[in-house]
Amino acid sequence: MAKSVKHILSKGSGLKVNGSLWIENKGERFFGPGPVELLEFIAETGSISKAAKKMKMSYKKAWEMVNKINAQATTPVVIVQSGGEKGGGSILTEEARQLIEYYRVLRERFTAFLNTETGRLKTS
Amino acid sequence: MAKSVKHILSKGSGLKVNGSLWIENKGERFFGPGPVELLEFIAETGSISKAAKKMKMSYKKAWEMVNKINAQATTPVVIVQSGGEKGGGSILTEEARQLIEYYRVLRERFTAFLNTETGRLKTS
């Protein structure tokens, strides 16, 4: 009789089904754990530049991430205030906060899915 | 009143919630779409070296992938037959086929989850 997956992988008491989740448009990813973290740091620091540093990410990459999200939204989710590269600062719109909240709840449902699958892996 | 996520992202007729799924042990990933594809190519070609080429992956990386899976399994999932780097060939055990089948069914349930979430994103 065929062995169960649990028995094939029975070495692993730390076995877990895990994954990542993102939103894409026509195959292009623009929202997921990275962008969420970046937006949260922008909210915290009021600056794309400071947020990029906290993420150990280049300023250019952080800008591209913000632009990608803005390009998918009906209105910008990050508002960049004038003042040059160092000054000015950036703020999140209410829409950005709603996207973050949406992702948090989505991720909760995904965690429930992963927990169910981890349980299934360990018992079946 | 707060806009719905659908309205925040309403530009996207191609919007989709997507993701990836893997199995890890104590945080170390060892099974997912890449390893599944590699195992399938090993089954098809009878050779880790040929399978690596099909995946445009170095022989070394393919070996490491196979070793990682073997290390997590109670018995090896790929049996390497003697004959040196070019000869000999490799075969999948029944356990490897069961792991592939398990991942296929797991991925089906994940696809259902993603479809539900994509539907929810577009209507809520």
Interface of B with A in 26-85 (CB under 8 A): 26-27, 29, 72-75, 77
Q: Which of B1, B20, B23, B99 to mutate to test the interface with A (most CBs of A within 10 A)?
A: B23
pLDDT in the model for residue B6: 81
Residue B80 contacts residue B46 (beta carbons within 8 Å): no
Residue of B nearest to A117 (CA): B106
Q: Do A23 and B3 touch (CB under 8 A)?
A: no
Look at chain B and count its residues: 124
A69 Cβ contact partners less than 8 Å away, ≥ 6 residues apart: A30, A31, A35, A39, A77, A78, A96, A99
Could you tell me whether strands A78-80 and A90-92 are parallel, antiparallel, or unpaired per DSSP bridges? antiparallel
Domain at A28-123: CATH architecture:
Orthogonal Bundle (1.10)
Residues of B in contact with A7 (CB under 8 A): 74
* ipTM of this complex prediction, to 2 decimal places: 0.88
pLDDT in the model for residue A86: 56
pLDDT along chain A (124 residues), means of 10: 75 86 94 96 94 96 94 90 68 94 96 96 83
Please give the Cα distance from B16 to B122 (Å, whole number). 9
A32 Cβ contact partners less than 8 Å away, ≥ 6 residues apart: A20, A21, A22, A23, A103
Give the pTM.
Answer: 0.88
The region, left, alpha or beta by phi > 0 then psi within -120 to 50, assigned to residue B105 is alpha
Residues of B in contact with A99 (CB under 8 A): 5, 8-9
CB-nearest partner of B102 from A5, A27, A113: A5
CATH number of B29-123: 1.10.10.10
The enclosing H or E element of A95 equals helix A94-123
At B67, which amino acid appears?
A: N
Return the domain boundaries, chain B: 29-123
Tell me, rounded to whole angstroms, the distance of Cα A110 from its chain centroid.
13
Q: Do B99 and A5 touch (CB under 8 A)?
A: yes
For chain B, list residues with pLDDT below 50: 1
